[in-house]
Structure formats: structure tokens, C-alpha cells
Amino acid sequence: MRALVVDDSRAMRAILGRILRELGYKVLEANNGCEGLECLRKFGAVDLALVDWNMPEMNGLDFLRAVRKERTYDAMYVMMVSTETEMEEVTEALGVGASEYVMKPFTKEVILEKLQILGLVRC
């Protein structure tokens, strides 16, 4: 299993990367949506992308829109991991094609629960 973590915070990429590696994922990282798309083009589709909303150059919602336009990434799960906590934002992200939504701050258990819901890890 391969995952892509897209977040402009190095610390957040490290935290999410560690959680995913502990679950057996090979993890790719990107600093913003543009780098995330470039990473997908270079290395191919991943099983899961964890994406921040607020980033420079290309935000997470625009990344999600771009990914959902490409048939190549239809099977890829995208989990928004964001400080955006308004129900409007959550609804918008899910409407654009996010598979799940996690609000920051989060715990490892929350990430595991969301991955279980998506069928990407076993209990």
C-alpha cells in the first residue's frame, strides 16, 4: 500500500507519515497541491492521499478537484486533514470527492478509525 501526504507543515507530514508507516504504508510526501500532483504523475497513483486544505500555490480542495478529474485516480481514497471545521467546508470537500474528513488536531486513533471505515486497515 502506498500513501501520499500533502501538507505544507513538515511536522504534520512527519506525524502522518509515521502513523502510516507503522501501518505498513510506503509514504510519499508533498509540500502543496502542485507538488502532490507532480508526485502522482511521477510515481503513479497511490492507494490513499491525506491532504491539508490550506496550503500555498495549490490548496487541498483544488488538489482534490484536479485528482477527481483524472480517471487514473478514481480508485484513490482522499482524506482531507484540515483545521477547517465549519460544516460548509466539510460538506464541500465531501461533495468534491473526499473519501473522509479529519479535523486538526487529531489523534492517531482518529486516523486509524477513518482508515478502518474506508477498509484500508483491519481492526
Tell me the whole-structure pTM to 2 decimals.
0.94
What sections of 1-123 are H helices per DSSP? 10-22, 33-43, 60-69, 87-96, 108-117
**For helices 108-117 and 10-22, what crossing angle results, to 10°?**
60
* Chain centre distance of CA 69: 16
Q: How far is CA 13 from CA 35, 50, 93, in A?
A: 13, 9, 20
Decide if 17 is inside a domain.
yes
CATH code of residue 21: 3.40.50.2300
Decide if 123 is inside a domain.
no
User: What domain range is 13 assigned to?
Assistant: 2-117
Decide if 21 is inside a domain.
yes
Task: Indicate the number of domains in the chain.
Answer: 1
Decide if 40 is inside a domain.
yes
Decide if 20 is inside a domain.
yes
Decide if 63 is inside a domain.
yes
Decide if 44 is inside a domain.
yes
At 81 the three-state DSSP class reads: strand
* Adjacency order of strands within the sheet including 100-103: 26-30, 2-6, 48-51, 77-82, 100-103
* Chain centre distance of CA 71: 18
Write the DSSP assignment of 37-58 as a string of letters.
Answer: HHHHHHH---SEEEE-S--SSS
Model confidence pLDDT, tens digit, residues 26-48? 999 999 999 999 999 999 999 99
pLDDT along the chain (123 residues), means of 10: 97 97 97 97 96 95 96 96 90 96 95 95 72
Q: In a 10 Å sphere around its CB, with 0-12 CB exposed, 13-18 middle and 19+ buried, how is residue 76 labelled?
A: buried
* Chain centre distance of CA 90: 14
Decide if 7 is inside a domain.
yes
